[in-house]
Amino acid sequence: MVDAVLDECHRPLRGGLDRIAATIRLPDGTEARLFAQLPDKLRAIVGREPFLAIGDRVVRLAEGDAGDANADDAARVLRLRSLLDAATLGPLHRATACRRVGPATFDVEQPDGSTTRLELRAGTLLPQSFANARGIVNLREHFRTPANTWIVTRAELDGLGSCAVQFEFADLAWDTDFFALPRERATKPDRARMQMPLASGEPRSTVPVLVDFKAAQRVVVDDPGTWSERAAIYAPLHTEVERQDQQIAGFPQLWTENGRRRLGLCFRRRVDGPEFARPDGWNVMAVPEGKWLVVYPANGDVDAKIAAGTAALEAGLTELGLRATGPITSQPFLHLQEGAPDAAKLEAPVVRVAVPVR
């Protein structure tokens, strides 16, 4: 049964959802940004408070200090981890055995010897809830993606309530010390170390910073100019790349090159995964590894942030004595594969603006 559910919900995603970045919005509007190595490691920003959870211990991270979180904060962080683990169907991805105990109820054994109870929606292969010693997580809403996967978009757990769930990245490669417990320090730590990374250590810096980029490929099409047209073009590209079991490397990219506005989808071959077979008519280009100058503008709507980020990088190139080796690209954190974003999503999204340099 475990394989049947995973084939129905997560066939192209198997093997990477334990290393994930996601955003959870609580019923009171609080936003929690989560960076996890499931099932037991989590870094989180809840509101503006940063935490690190390893096993049952939760540490609050703060400038000049690091110590155990208070009981309420610790309980909330652990609940967020439990909710995220259930939303990724983690107990199924880790299952060592499964036993039917009812028409749609199964006991799923875990590597640590514990058991998680799975309840399916009647007549379907969609998980309805996971129950274990940490509580019952009810999966309230699932979204059917163009790649024919089912992704949880709303989940509920006592102590948190009904929460919106949005996955940002999966199959991440965390730095080796990313989840290490911090040492107590008498001196003030480097501020950059206390910023939560997007992936592999990249900070969401409001001033230009240099980051390492791992080689990738990019599907390139002409940018039609409107978000509805972009979504219509981007969605089938995303579907085909996922169908070929490639790792999507970030959000859609926008840039201008030789006077032409372009739209791109960046991806990488998975470790031991299949090579990408370029469909007829596709323009697929290599993006080499190297250094990129990156900035996350703080204020404004999507257009304002793209403009501000472009200006900041142009100034940063001069100040740092760097030379651009390609065009400036912008990546609003928008899920175009799910359709055109509404006005609210365009009002204040996260936007990554970057340029390759030497």
**pLDDT band, very low/low/confident/very high, at 190 (cuts 50, 70, 90):** very low
CA distance 135 to 181: 26
Kindly tell me if the per-residue pLDDT of 164 is higher than 60.
yes
Report the Cα–Cα distance between both ends of the chain, in Å, rounded: 52
Q: What pLDDT digit, counting tens, does each position of 312-351 carry?
A: 999 888 878 889 999 999 999 999 999 999 998 898 889 9
* Residue 327 pLDDT: 95
**pLDDT, tens only, 113-123:** 999 999 999 99
Place of tokens 């107990």: 91
pLDDT > 60? residue 352 = yes
The answer to whether 31 touches 47, Cβ cutoff 8 Å, is: yes
For residue 297, whether the previous peptide bond is cis, meaning omega lies within 30 degrees of 0, is no
Tell me: the pLDDT tens digits for 65-87? Answer: 568 899 999 999 999 999 999 99
- Sign of the C-alpha dihedral, residues 256, 251, 321, 326? negative
Mean of all residue pLDDT scores within the chain:
88
pLDDT at 201: 45
pLDDT in tens, 146-157: 778 899 999 999
Instruction: For residue range 33-72, list pLDDT tens digits in order.
Output: 898 999 999 999 898 788 999 999 999 986 545 688 999 9
Q: Where are the beta strands (DSSP E) in 74-121?
A: 97-102, 105-109, 115-120
Burial annotation 264-298 (CB, 10 A radius, 16+ → b, else e)? bbbbbbeeeeeebeeeeeeeeeebeeeebbbbbbe
Query: What pLDDT is attached to residue 189?
Result: 38
> Any idea what the Cα angle at residue 222 is, between residues 215 and 286, rounded to 5°?
15
Q: What number of helices (H) and strands (E) belong to the chain?
A: 6, 22
Summarised one tens digit per residue, pLDDT across range 1-15 is 899 999 999 987 787
Supply φ then ψ for residue 308, to 5 degrees.
-65, -40
**pLDDT for 188 beyond 70:** no
Distance CA 4, CA 316 (A): 51
Inter-CA distances, 53 with 43, 81, 84, 310, 346, Å? 6, 9, 13, 36, 32
Helix (H/G/I), strand (E/B), else coil: 321: coil
The span from the CA of 38 to the CA of 40, in Å, is 5
Q: Is 196 exposed, middle or buried (0-12, 13-18, 19+ CB in 10 A)?
A: middle
> Where do we find the tokens 């400038």?
63
Hey, is 84 helix, strand or coil? Answer: helix
Q: How many other β-carbons are positioned within 10 Å of the β-carbon of residue 40?
A: 14
pLDDT score recorded for residue 106 = 97
Rounded to 5 degrees, what are φ and ψ at 347?
Answer: -70, -40
